[in-house]
Amino acid sequence: APNYGEYCVSKAGVSMVTKLFAVRLAEYGINVYEVCPGIIETDMTSSKATKTYYNAKITEGMTPINRWGKPEEVGLAIASIARGDFPFTTGAVFHVDGGWHLRQLYRASMCTLHVNHRHGFRGAGRAPEQTFAHGGAPLNAATSALKS
């Protein structure tokens, strides 16, 4: 979006600062994290034009978890970090985005993913299997390794 250039640059800066501080502060026992929210119902997304745009994208299947995120869901991630639930982790990115960060894989996938409950992941045509679906369509995986 043309009006979001500065916003996007600032987010990229936060990502780099997260990595930099994670390296520099680890020796002091300070862990650093990045939280990346997706399309969250906030004041920033409350205009009619923004809602119309993202509602259409959600209807088209924009993300694997295909709905608006809630501020409380971002809060849960932050609360978990604040509690110290990840003591051996630093520089991690917490995507609270319904899978938006997977969009390349999610959109480009071509082979149906099946799960064999006794033998793990397998490709199409092997039984007993359960096909996972999203909105009535097969959920796909981008790797041909699942076919073997």
Which active-site residues does the annotation give?
Answer: 7
Cα 24 to its chain centre, rounded Å, is 27
Strands, E, within 31-129: which ranges?
A: 33-37, 92-96, 111-112, 114-116, 120-122
Contacts of 12 (CB under 8 A, 6+ apart): none
- CA angle, 127 then 123 then 98, to 5°: 110
Please report the sign of the dihedral spanned by the C-alpha atoms of residue 63, residue 64, residue 65, residue 70: negative
32 near 21, Cβ under 8 Å?
yes
Phi, psi at 126, each rounded to 5°: -110, 140
